[in-house]
Structure 1
Amino acid sequence: MKFLIVSFDGLRPDLIESALTPNIDRLQQAGVTLSRHRTVYPSETRVAFPSLVTGATPNRHGMVGNKFVDRGSVPGRYLDTSDAVLLDHLNRESNGRLMTAPTLGELLKADQKSLAVLATNTTGTTRLFNHKAEELGHIRFSGHFREVCSPVEALAMAEAEIGPLCPPPPRGEPDRDGQEWITSAFLNFVWPQQQPDVTILSYGEPDTTSHFHGTGSRTTRDTIAFCDAQFGRVLDWWESEGRAAEVQLIAISDHGHVTAHTRVSVAASLKAAGFSTGIAPGTGVDVTVVPGQVGALYLADRSLSNLSHAVEALINEPWCGPIFTRSRNGVEGLASGSFANSLVFADHERAPDVYFAFKADDRIDPFGLAGGTFYDSDRMPGLGVHGGFQAGELLAVGIAAGSVFRCDGATSLIPSDICDLAPTILHALGLPVPATMTGRVLREVLAGASKDDLEPLVEAESYEVGLGSFRQSLRRSIVSERIYLDGGAASNEAVAAPQKLEAAE
């Protein structure tokens, strides 16, 4: 038995339709769709994909953002995890502890099995799928970047078969050549020559196009259609050959997108409150404001009074959404008005002192898609972003087909997320699921699922905290003790004392 995971970076489930994505739609008809599938928080690529390969939430694997501050070095340093060379250096520097949970590559190798990765994401993302591929002897190919490919001998053989790696497109332009190259590399070299036990085929689109052209734009839709056509080549192979070879096919995305509508400046708000800010720790910097759509603040002075002052500066702003600090009691954060970061599984030692999401809403964007948000970047309004708690950011694609799964065109209404895939794969391969994994085996989508498996108890819970006129809420679902994030919101209405609200599913 083998597994093939095909990922479409940033694809919203509501953009899957027979006219635009006939091949993904064809897989849905052949398999089972996870209709309540979602990602983790922060809803960023280099947080979600580590959750895929570790089967664990960020508080276990330690990739706390696309960018974060490393407090372990003196002085602290700003890290951008899109850089594969940097990640390799950090892994060596930490004696192999870049990720603080074992990965699928390591677990498979321990049982003499293999993981192959083919990706067109950034070099850093490509490395994070299997950051120890070199020492494990596993294939890791980028569609563009030679420095992240391993082993070099295998790359040379693949290029002799299908042609050289493609240069990356100009910044902001759709990436088509790379998607075609990795598809051909899988079909014409990796599968025929290696037949890995697990393969991850990661299309880096439509994420890039959405960021630069808008999530529902004609350009992005054309890119989605192109990726679907490449997936159609894979699906044709699967139907004619792979299925008979017991290959299980899973299609996913790592997060969705919403539309940026109003630009703000986090640094300006903090400066108005008396803080000096920077994008990296340094002399005279009170608060490191990590760039990007995920709000992340690292304080030079980590005292409670200073933390509370920073939180108060944020919650007085109309653009501030849910906000998290280190736990006070499991629900409230240390700073009044904030949630405990453990509620969203973001309490790793690398986590910022303050996480926050920009306030989002359900407004309809110019392309007819629901979901808008404030944002802090130099891009124009109307473009796609992600990182927070709006449904368009959290909901992700999840489709499975093959002999292991219920292949009847069914739809599962049971919550699931990206952490559940690795435990399900290990279970199907007859391998133990390590205690480091927070995900669960998705028994409800397995062939021969019992009535109890198909109808597990699903509980819903909500939390509220606030300070003054600021109130924020968080919604979660529980299945077999596994907790999923449903969303969060914030407002400036009157708030009662912190409380936990229970509701039936």
Structure 2
Amino acid sequence: MTGPRPPADRVVLCVFDGLRPDFVTPERMPNLTRFAGQGTWFREARSVFPSMTRVATTAMATGAHPRVHGIVGNAFYFPQATRSHVLDLGRWDDVSLAVQATGGRFVTAEPMGDVLARASRRMAVVHTGSAGAAYLINPHARDNGHWTLSILGREHGGTPEAVDAMIARFGPLPPRRLPRFEETDYAERVFREHVLETLKPDVALIWFNEPDTAFHYRSLGSPETLEVLRTVDDAFGRIVTWVDAQPDADRYTVIAASDHGQITMRDALPLCDLLRGAGHVGRRGVERTLDGARFVMTGGNMGEIRILEGGAARRDAIARWLMAQSFTGMVFTRGGDGIAGEVPGTFSLSLVDLDHARAPDLVFVLRSDDGPDPFGNPGLGLMTECDVPVGGGMHGGLNRYELNTTLILRGAGLPAGVIDRRPSGIIDIAPTVLATLGLPPAATMTGRSLLDPAAESEAPRIYETGLGCFRQRLASAERNGSRILLHGGRVD
């Protein structure tokens, strides 16, 4: 006897890196807006913390928070793999170090690719982002007999034969130019003409690196960025048109999603120099070579600090110094009671589901607010000095416009033209994909299927703590035991 037929036979998942849902309008993205009217739009969907691409990618792939999947930053100190530098998961050589050091189990939660493989289902990925993100969306693709194309080239991923085959069929990989117009068009053609038409996998995923790149380097509202939005929207429109033309189109579920949002950076701080002036930086400071460093720090609009010399006393001193600065938005430390961290005034890493064994001693988020940028887009913040220009976009923190993601589903019995405002998240994507195909979630998944009509959410919970003049607040919601982070920041 066989069970009931699953809601769909195939899932097509299109990810727009960094796309804020308030940018999905008829003027900017007409195809995606039209698609939203055909499906259910989970308007209050959220990313995880840190709201960084490689962390969020792994959350999408595993349906789990960082406390479970173990990828705690785009870059983080991981001495199990190397003590010479901070591990940069955008680089394939660093990813390889981590994979080798962990015996192939760098991701500590079970990805949906593994669940699909056990059920003899196939997954194919076309990825235009970093080598690390292409790996993390289906970490064991080669072992599972799956297919992943990294548009960066054969030396940037674990399945170089896919690159060779696509060059043979579609010509040389496109040049790397800002914005990524050529990469978007090349990837969409490969996805539509090879993945969907030829491979016909059970789960087909395309990851557009735009509008994230344009947001970073061309700002959130410039004419060039608006052209990028139209380019990825046109690519999405061609994919949906292909699906709609299939004789079994009603057996396809299409998901449009983003991994995080972005806010505009109004200023950059020389945080390393400020820490040095306060007496916290040793001979080599926080440079890539860590010989003689007292601690290691990553940057952006948030970062981690790991103590190499001085133990808890140095951690506590740095945390107190950060909380005394006007530019600091939030500070987290390990342990505590699950709300407050070990250091008075800080939140616990467990409150934001970042309490993995690999988590750092200290996490800071620079200050942000909901004020308008020069183009009228809400969300302004600060960052440490990096290659993103002032006026460009950034993400990683807990501002609502960084956390709020695009998440729209069409098919699988979901109602059309509905805006669902229940808290949901990118952690719900993997269990939803599996449920759509009639498969159970992995045991490590903390997200829940969006097909479950009984998934009720509780009223938001507000947490507050601080030290002296420093006060910080975090809002989250619980849905069937799964935590969704809504927003957080400093309280004036």
TM-score, structure 2 normalization = 0.94
Residue 470 (structure 2) aligns with: 470
**Structure 1 counterpart of 2:115, which letter?**
L
Q: What is the CA-CA distance between 1:74 and the residue it aligns to?
A: 6.6
Residue 219 (structure 2) aligns with: 214
Partner secondary structure for residue 486 of structure 1: strand
Partner secondary structure for residue 149 of structure 2: strand
- Match for 1:199 among 204, 210, 224? 204
**Structure 2 counterpart of 1:234, which letter?**
I
Residue 184 (structure 1) aligns with: 189
Q: What is the CA-CA distance between 1:180 and the residue it aligns to?
A: 1.0
- Match for 1:384 among 380, 390, 393? 393
Higher relative contact order (CA 8 A, sep 6+): 2
Whole-Å separation in 2 of the counterparts to 1:243 and 1:261:
49
Whole-Å separation in 1 of the counterparts to 2:371 and 2:132:
33
Whole-Å separation in 2 of the counterparts to 1:141 and 1:52:
18
Q: What is the CA-CA distance between 1:147 and the residue it aligns to?
A: 2.2
User: Residues 77 and 306 of structure 2 are in contact (CA less than 8 Å); yes or no, is this contact kept in structure 1?
Assistant: yes
Residue 460 (structure 1) aligns with: 460
Identity of aligned residues (%): 32
What are the equivalent positions in structure 2 for 1:416-455 lying under 5 Å apart? 416-443=424-451, 449=453, 452=454
Residue 333 (structure 1) aligns with: 341
**Structure 2 counterpart of 1:99, which letter?**
V
Whole-Å separation in 2 of the counterparts to 1:239 and 1:117:
20
Quickly say closer, same or farther: Cα 1:104–1:457, change in 2 above 3 A. closer
User: Residues 294 and 310 of structure 2 are in contact (CA less than 8 Å); yes or no, is this contact kept in structure 1?
Assistant: no
Whole-Å separation in 2 of the counterparts to 1:352 and 1:28:
39
**Structure 2 residue 95 is the aligned partner of structure 1 residue 87:** yes
What are the equivalent positions in structure 2 for 1:346-365 lying under 5 Å apart? 346-365=354-373
Where does structure 1 differ by over 6 angstroms across 4 or more consecutive aligned residues? none
Task: Give a deviation string over 1:451-473, Cα, whole Å, max 9, x none.
Answer: x55xx242211111111111111
Can you give the 5+ residue segments of structure 1 that lack an aligned partner in the other structure? 494-505
Q: What is the CA-CA distance between 1:422 and the residue it aligns to?
A: 0.6
**Structure 2 counterpart of 1:301, which letter?**
E
- Match for 1:56 among 59, 64, 75? 64
Residue 301 (structure 1) aligns with: 309
Task: Give a deviation string over 1:458-491, Cα, whole Å, max 9, x none.
Answer: 2211111111111111111111221110111114
Task: Give a deviation string over 1:262-288, Cα, whole Å, max 9, x none.
Answer: 221221232232111213462321121
Quickly say closer, same or farther: Cα 1:22–1:282, change in 2 above 3 A. same
TM-score, structure 1 normalization = 0.91
**Structure 2 counterpart of 1:273, which letter?**
A
Whole-Å separation in 2 of the counterparts to 1:298 and 1:2:
44
**Structure 2 counterpart of 1:338, which letter?**
T
**Structure 2 residue 406 is the aligned partner of structure 1 residue 397:** yes
Residue 264 (structure 2) aligns with: 259
**Structure 2 residue 137 is the aligned partner of structure 1 residue 129:** yes
Whole-Å separation in 2 of the counterparts to 1:391 and 1:65:
19
Q: What is the CA-CA distance between 1:314 and the residue it aligns to?
A: 0.5
Can you give the 5+ residue segments of structure 2 that lack an aligned partner in the other structure? 1-8
Indicate the larger mover: 273-282 or 251-260: 273-282
Whole-Å separation in 1 of the counterparts to 2:231 and 2:83:
46
Q: What is the CA-CA distance between 1:293 and the residue it aligns to?
A: 2.7
CA RMSD in angstroms, aligned pairs only: 1.8
Partner secondary structure for residue 458 of structure 1: coil
Indicate the larger mover: 276-285 or 305-314: 276-285
Task: Give a deviation string over 1:68-97, Cα, whole Å, max 9, x none.
Answer: 001325746311000123213321221112
Q: What is the CA-CA distance between 1:110 and the residue it aligns to?
A: 1.2
Q: What is the CA-CA distance between 1:418 and the residue it aligns to?
A: 0.3
Residue 45 (structure 1) aligns with: 53
Whole-Å separation in 2 of the counterparts to 1:52 and 1:360:
26
Whole-Å separation in 2 of the counterparts to 1:369 and 1:240:
37
Partner secondary structure for residue 124 of structure 2: strand
Quickly say closer, same or farther: Cα 1:58–1:242, change in 2 above 3 A. farther
Q: What is the CA-CA distance between 1:225 and the residue it aligns to?
A: 0.5
What are the equivalent positions in structure 2 for 1:165-184 lying under 5 Å apart? 165-169=173-177, 173-184=178-189
Indicate the larger mover: 291-300 or 472-481: 291-300
- Match for 1:162 among 136, 159, 170? 170
